[in-house]
Structure 1
């Protein structure tokens, strides 16, 4: 059945592993550099550093937030780790560009990454001009997804009506606060179809086919 998104006029997208497939392996490179940074900051061996990295992610929604709170890490120093990563594994997708272009209303990025990373990735994918704004980690004062405060700051900044917003994410737990606010939630990626979370409205392994087949609001 075609997903009915005819009530949507605001389109909210996570960036990493959502606007490009997880299979690209790009986020494995990000994660590897993150582990090396945790090793440097804490003096831990790789295995212990990786475990701490995941612990902070689970507790705070963002490894960086744990590093800031417990180790005084400067977020600018942390984000600079990823600004020279090669983007060659990320392929431009003409079908996705067309699918995004047909969406009526406003389009936004909502990411726990910083502004430079978001601009680099969107530019490489040829998608930068399709979005009205990038709401990045600095925009919401490091109240990272799934912190409801980050969602509320985004709503306040852009005047969203949550009932008319769809939110696309590859991380299931980041959809819970969106659903609580009344947004339509779409889980994207290889694990999406196996999800049974009651707060997920739609599930799709791949973003582009979902957007192409969705029923949209009619425009005149």
Structure 2
């Protein structure tokens, strides 16, 4: 009996966004990153903090990430920027032993696809205790500094791993990133932001955009409820 369990029995490539997806959106991680982005923009362009914040958000909306907007409009040291904005306290990421068990049970390959840096991704995975569970990490540098939701970055990701897209799922907190994935043929799972933390790129609690196959308020809960090829074999015995 599977009931209304999400059916992912066709999936053998499990792709996870990093921030606000593998850990809850109420963990104070991206707030730190965003504040350091503002500081960097203010210093780079000699702007007051409030103007730097507005420009930062404008670049995010128009280019996909603040970095992509800066690259298009200003000379900067890309790696210096990435090191600066990700120099945060990762210890605020909560431990989640149940997530470890759910990821361990996934049949097939597990990948992280992030708009952040490799070093930041490694730090997040280590603090979650899941760094040993992933086959690889694809960061913004691997994408040629072309971030999600741009198709070029997705194509580089798929090519790097010879990804069988029809057998791949992307877990994401970003509605617009999932739109590109859906257009490519991924199965898409939206991890909604916590109440009060929604931005223009997130769905409100209970919302389910048309290009999203499944939506959930908690990644760990969803992983426990979905049906995979492994759980199907067990239930059919």
TM-score, reference length from structure 1: 0.96
Question: What's 2:146 paired with?
Answer: 143
Q: Match for 2:173 among 161, 165, 170?
A: 170
Please list every run of 5 or more consecutive structure 1 residues that lacks an aligned counterpart in the other structure: none
Question: What's 1:187 paired with?
Answer: 190
Distance in 1, matches of 2:90 and 2:117, equals 16
Question: What's 1:160 paired with?
Answer: 163
2:215 counterpart of 1:203? yes
Contact 1:192 1:203 in 2 (8 A): no
TM-score, reference length from structure 2: 0.89
Question: What's 1:217 paired with?
Answer: 229
Question: What's 2:76 paired with?
Answer: 73
Determine helix, strand or coil for the equivalent of 2:58: helix
2:88 counterpart of 1:85? yes
Contact 1:21 1:189 in 2 (8 A): no
Offset at 1:194?
A: 3.5
- Residue by residue over 1:47-69, the C-alpha shift from the partner in whole angstroms, topping out at 9 and shown as x without a partner, is 11111101111111010011112
Aligned residue runs from structure 1 range 16-165, under 5 A: 16-165=19-168
- Residue by residue over 1:144-191, the C-alpha shift from the partner in whole angstroms, topping out at 9 and shown as x without a partner, is 000001111111111111110000001110001100011000010234
Contact 2:33 2:86 in 1 (8 A): no
Contact 2:59 2:68 in 1 (8 A): yes
Distance in 2, matches of 1:84 and 1:196, equals 34
Offset at 1:84?
A: 3.3
Distance in 2, matches of 1:192 and 1:121, equals 25
Offset at 1:71?
A: 1.2
Distance in 2, matches of 1:140 and 1:35, equals 23
Please list every run of 5 or more consecutive structure 2 residues that lacks an aligned counterpart in the other structure: 194-202
Question: What's 1:3 paired with?
Answer: 6
Offset at 1:89?
A: 1.1
